[in-house]
C-alpha cells in the first residue's frame, strides 16, 4: 500500500519521529493561542518556506494536499465578509492552513515504520500491565494487507453487477461486500489458529 | 481471540475499502461516501467493544499516515482540519451503535441496527464533528451546526441502509453477527 510519505528525501526524514510529533503539538497549541493577523501571516509564510526548502517537487506535492481545504476557506471567507468581520475570518483561515500544513509536513517526512516505532514506545506502559501489544501490530499489518484485497473484491462485485444489469451498482453491493469481509476474517482467524494462534 | 482480532482488522479494512468505492450523489447534489456507513456497520455487526476498536484502528492508521480516507486523504493533517471531530467521533460512534445493538435484543435485527446507527453513527459522531468545527473554525454551536446540516440527510439514508444490510447479514452469516451472539 502506498503511504503519504514524500518520495523526495529531505533532511527532516532523518530526524526522530517523536521529536517531530512533539514539535507539531507545541506549534499547533501556539497557533490556537494567537489571534493577531500579522503573526498568523508570518506563521503561514514560514510554513510555506519549509515546504519550499526541499525543492519544487516537494512544494508541489505539499500544496496539492492543502488543496482539500478550499471549501472551508471559501465558506469561512464568505461568511466573515457577509458579517463584516473579514479580519477574524482571515485569522481563522490562515491558522487552519498553517496547522494542516505543518501536520502534513510531519506525515510527509516520516516513514510508516518510524511512526509505528513511536506507537510501540507509547504502548510500552501497557505491556507492563500484561497487554499483548504484538496483536496490535498484527492487526495493523492485517489492515494494510487486506484493504487492497477487499477493494479488489469490491471491484469484482461491481463488475459482476454490471454484467447482469444496465443500472449502476449502488448500495446493494455493500451487503455481499460485507459478507466477503466477514468470510475473509473467519478464514484468517482459522489460519492463525492452525499456525499456533496468538 | 484470533477471531476477534481478524474481525476487528477486517472491518477496519472494510471502512477503508468503502472509501474507495465511487461516491453516490444524493438528489440535491450532496456527495456521500460509504465510509461512515462502514463505521455504522462496525457497531451493528461487531458490537460495542469490537466495533469501537475496529473504528479506532482505522482512525489510528489514518493518523500514522496511510491514505485511507475517501479521496486518498490521510496523515496528521486531517487531525488539524475542520473535519477532525468526525474522525475522532468514529470510534465512539461505533461503540455507542454497538452498545445499543447489544442492549436492545427484543427488537428485530434490522430495526435495532437502524435505530442504533442513527443514535451512534449520526448523533454521537455529529456531536464530535460539530465540536471540532467550533474549535477549528472559531464558531458558536448554532453556527457550526448550520455548517454540517447539509450532510445529515445522506447520513440518515446510510443509517437506514445499515439496518437493511445488518438484517441481510443476520440471514446470510448468523454466526458472525457478534453484536447479537
* Domains of chain B in sequence order: 2-23+31-180 (1.10.1760.20)
| Residue B23 pLDDT | 57
Please report, rounded to a whole number, the percentage of residues in chain A having pLDDT higher than 90: 39
Residue B110 neighbours by CB under 8 Å, 6+ apart: B163, B164, B166, B167, B170
Tell me whether residues A186 and B6 touch, CB distance under 8 A. Answer: yes
Please state, rounded to an integer, the average pLDDT across all residues of chain B: 89
Pick the residue from chain B with its C-alpha nearest to A99. B80
With 0-12 CB in 10 A as exposed, 13-18 as middle and 19+ as buried, what is A195?
A: exposed
Tell me whether residues A192 and B138 touch, CB distance under 8 A. Answer: no
Pick the residue from chain B with its C-alpha nearest to A77. B137
CA of A127, closest CA in chain B: separation in Å? 18
Written as nine digits, the cell of A40 is 498568523
- Which of B11, B60, B67 comes nearest A181 by C-beta? B11
* Spacing of C-alpha A182 from chain mean position: 26
Q: Give tens-digit pLDDT for A141-185.
A: 999 999 989 989 988 888 898 899 888 777 788 899 999 999 999
**pLDDT beyond 90 at B101:** yes
Pick the residue from chain B with its C-alpha nearest to A177. B14
What ipTM was assigned to the predicted interfaces of this complex?
0.89
Helix (H, G, I), strand (E, B) or coil at B31: strand
Cα separation, B48 vs B93, whole angstroms: 9
Confidence (pTM):
0.90
Tell me whether residues A151 and B20 touch, CB distance under 8 A. Answer: yes
Among the ranges A31-45, A122-136, A164-178, which has the highest mean pLDDT value?
A: A31-45
| Residue A169 pLDDT | 75
Amino acid at each position: 500500500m502506498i503511504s503519504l510519505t514524500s518520495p523526495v528525501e529531505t533532511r527532516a526524514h532523518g530526524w526522530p519521529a517523536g521529536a517531530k510529533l512533539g514539535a507539531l503539538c507545541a506549534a499547533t497549541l501556539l497557533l490556537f493561542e494567537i489571534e493577531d493577523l500579522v503573526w498568523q501571516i508570518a506563521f503561514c509564510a514560514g510554513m510555506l518556506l519549509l515546504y519550499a526548502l526541499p525543492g519544487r517537487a516537494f512544494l508541489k506535492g505539499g500544496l496539492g494536499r492543502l488543496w482539500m481545504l478550499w471549501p472551508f476557506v471559501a465558506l469561512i471567507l464568505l461568511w466573515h465578509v457577509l458579517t463584516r468581520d473579514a479580519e477574524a475570518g482571515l485569522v481563522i483561515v490562515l491558522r487552519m492552513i498553517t496547522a494542516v500544513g505543518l501536520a502534513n509536513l510531519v506525515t510527509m517526512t516520516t516513514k510508516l515504520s518510524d511512526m509505528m516505532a513511536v506507537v510501540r514506545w507509547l504502548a510500552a506502559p501497557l505491556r507492563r500491565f500484561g497487554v499483548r501489544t504484538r496483536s496490535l501490530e498484527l492487526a495493523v499489518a492485517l489492515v494494510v494487507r487486506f484493504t487492497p484485497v477487499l477493494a479488489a473484491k469490491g471491484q469484482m462485485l461491481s463488475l459482476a453487477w454490471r454484467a447482469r444489469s444496465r443500472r449502476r451498482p449502488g448500495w446493494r453491493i455493500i451487503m455481499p461486500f460485507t459478507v466477503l469481509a466477514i468470510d475473509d476474517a473467519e478464514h484468517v482467524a482459522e489460519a492463525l489458529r492452525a499456525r499456533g494462534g496468538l | 481471540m484470533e477471531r476477534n482480532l481478524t474481525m476487528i482488522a477486517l472491518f477496519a479494512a472494510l471502512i477503508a475499502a468503502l472509501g474507495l468505492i465511487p461516491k453516490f450523489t444524493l438528489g440535491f447534489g450532496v456527495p456521500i461516501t460509504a465510509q461512515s456507513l462502514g463505521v455504522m456497520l462496525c457497531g451493528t455487526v461487531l458490537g460495542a467493544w469490537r466495533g469501537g476498536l475496529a473504528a479506532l484502528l482505522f482512525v489510528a492508521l489514518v493518523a500514522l499516515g496511510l491514505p485511507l480516507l475517501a479521496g486518498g486523504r490521510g496523515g496528521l493533517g486531517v487531525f488539524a482540519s475542520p473535519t477532525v471531530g468526525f474522525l475522532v467521533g468514529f470510534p465512539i460512534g461505533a461503540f455507542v451503535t454497538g452498545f445499543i445493538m447489544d442492549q436492545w435484543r427484543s427488537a428485530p435485527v434490522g430495526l435495532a441496527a437502524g435505530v442504533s446507527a442513527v443514535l451512534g453513527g449520526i448523533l454521537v459522531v455529529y456531536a464530535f464533528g460539530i465540536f471540532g468545527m467550533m474549535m477549528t473554525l472559531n464558531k458558536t454551536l448554532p453556527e457550526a451546526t448550520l455548517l454540517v446540516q447539509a450532510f445529515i440527510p445522506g447520513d440518515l439514508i446510510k443509517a437506514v441502509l445499515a439496518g437493511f444490510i445488518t438484517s441481510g447479514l443476520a440471514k446470510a452469516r448468523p454466526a458472525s453477527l457478534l453484536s447479537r451472539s
